[in-house]
Structures are given as C-alpha cells and as structure tokens.
Amino acid sequence: MFIIGELINGMYKNVGQAIRKRDKSIIQEIALKQIEAGVDALDLNCGPLSENPLEDMCWLVETVQEVVDKPLCLDSSKPRIIEAGLKIIKNKAIINSTSADLEKLEILVDLAKRYNAKLIGLTLSSKGVPQNKEQRLELAAEIVAYCSREDFSIEDLYLDPVVLPINVAQDRQRDILDSIQEFKVISEPPPKTIVGLSNISQGASQRPLLNRTFITMAISFGLDAAILNPLDNELINAIITSELILNRQIYCESFLKAYRKR
C-alpha cells in the first residue's frame, strides 16, 4: 500500500492558521510526524480558504522540503498552482489531480510527462460526480485512453473513484468499492487505484471506525494507495493486517518493519 499523509491541509484549523502566519515550525512538525509514522509521500493542500493559493503552495513545498526528503503530492484543482509547485519540487512529485475533462487532461498529462511526476485522475468531470459505477468506469476509461495516446505510463496513473461521505451517500459505497476492482481491467498493464479515505467519514460520528472498516474493504477490492491520517494507529494496524491476510506485497517497507517489531 502506498500511503500519502493527508495532514498538511488548510482544511485543518491549525494548518490553515500556520499557512496564513507563515509559521514554518508547525508545518514541519506535522510533516516529520507523518514521516515517522512511515508514509511514502505527503499531500500538500492550501485549503479552501486560501487567498493566495499559488504563493501558499510554493511556501508549503519549500517549508516541507527543508526537513523532508520524500515525494510530495500537490493537491489543487488549479493547474497553474500545480505547475508552480512542480517547478520547485526536488524529489518526485505526485499531481493531485486531473479530472476526465479534456482541458485538464491536456495540461496535466503534459506536466506529468515533463516533470516525470505521477498523476492522480479523479473520475469526475465538469458534469459533476458520477451517479453510478458505469459512469465512473466511462470516465476512468477516458482518462486511461488519453494517457495511453499521449504515452504517459499507465503504471504512474492512479485512478480515484472519489469517495463520498457515508452520511450523504450510503447507497453509493458499494459502487465505489466495485469501481476500484473494475478500474483494473481497463488496460494492461492496469492503472493503479487510490482513495481520499477520510472523505467517507466527514460529518459522521465514529470516524476512525468508519475509516478503518472502509480501507479494509477497499484493500480487499484491490486498492493500491490512499491519502489518509497516518497518525491513527488503529488505522495503520488495520491496513497492515489486511495486507498480511491477503498475502499482498507491502510496498511500504517501514510499515512492515513496524509490524515485525511488535
């Protein structure tokens, strides 16, 4: 499982405030804590309230890079912000994300190729969130077809079915899990799959229980990667145990080491 730490997101009050005040120490501490927990990469998101998202993103990249030597995941819906981040990232970058819209694919697949970055493709379009599995697969196939045509390696493509909160979309969850499995048959070699895990429990009580139950199920449907809170120990234990039971290759060595130490 490829794990991306979600905690550097302006959606969190302390992070939003640290970004506004240009308080490096808070951001660097959150970065290091996630690295210690064994993440493979760090998501960087200025949050919905950022007034200068381009400057904020560049400041986040520079601040985190001072203390961390791991891939960074540029989380923004605006291609110009992603490009600004790519220009200053020293390590490998992950573009988070493109949608299935052609205007976005054109810009972001080109950027991913030029900067040798991985690319997350949301199965979303300007028409909105897909209402069922078939629509998700159609959008996924459009993203894969575009990447193949442009010679972007499908193994560097992570398809995201877009996890919806359980409290507004209880009847959609089974479709989302099935999509994770079915994305794999779109091409050979297959694309990878990813979810933003905490979406499932937004606005719900029992968030940790929902998160770890969902990830356990998603792993059994073949999930490759997740953006999540790596400081939730029970969540990490559930991931390790799921992969152990499925005898899946664990590509996150540090989690495996953590498990063996117990």
Contact residues: ligand THG, CB under 6 A: 6, 9, 11-13, 45, 75, 96-97, 120, 160, 162-163, 196, 198-199, 202, 227
DSSP 128: B
CB of 162 to ligand THG, least distance (A): 6
> What are the DSSP calls for 186-224, one per residue?
SSSSPPEEEEEGGGGGTT-SSHHHHHHHHHHHHHHTT--
Burial of 66 (0-12, 13-18, 19+ CB in 10 A): exposed
Instruction: Give whichever of 208 and 259 is closer to ligand THG, judged by the CB atom.
Output: 208
Instruction: Give whichever of 77 and 259 is closer to ligand THG, judged by the CB atom.
Output: 77
Say how far apart CA 51 and CA 49 lie, in whole Å: 6
Instruction: Give whichever of 190 and 208 is closer to ligand THG, judged by the CB atom.
Output: 208
CB of 232 to ligand THG, least distance (A): 12
Instruction: Give whichever of 232 and 256 is closer to ligand THG, judged by the CB atom.
Output: 232
Q: In sequence order, what E strands does the chain have?
A: 2-9, 41-45, 72-75, 93-98, 118-122, 157-160, 192-196, 225-228
Instruction: Give whichever of 86 and 120 is closer to ligand THG, judged by the CB atom.
Output: 120
CB of 81 to ligand THG, least distance (A): 14
Instruction: Give whichever of 45 and 242 is closer to ligand THG, judged by the CB atom.
Output: 45
CB of 196 to ligand THG, least distance (A): 2
Say how far apart CA 98 and CA 100 lie, in whole Å: 7
CB of 130 to ligand THG, least distance (A): 14
Which H helix or E strand runs over 148? helix 133-149
Specify whether the CB–CB gap between 109 and 150 falls below 8 A.
Answer: yes
CB of 247 to ligand THG, least distance (A): 27
Q: Which residue's C-beta sits nearest to ligand THG?
A: 196
Say how far apart CA 6 and CA 117 lie, in whole Å: 19
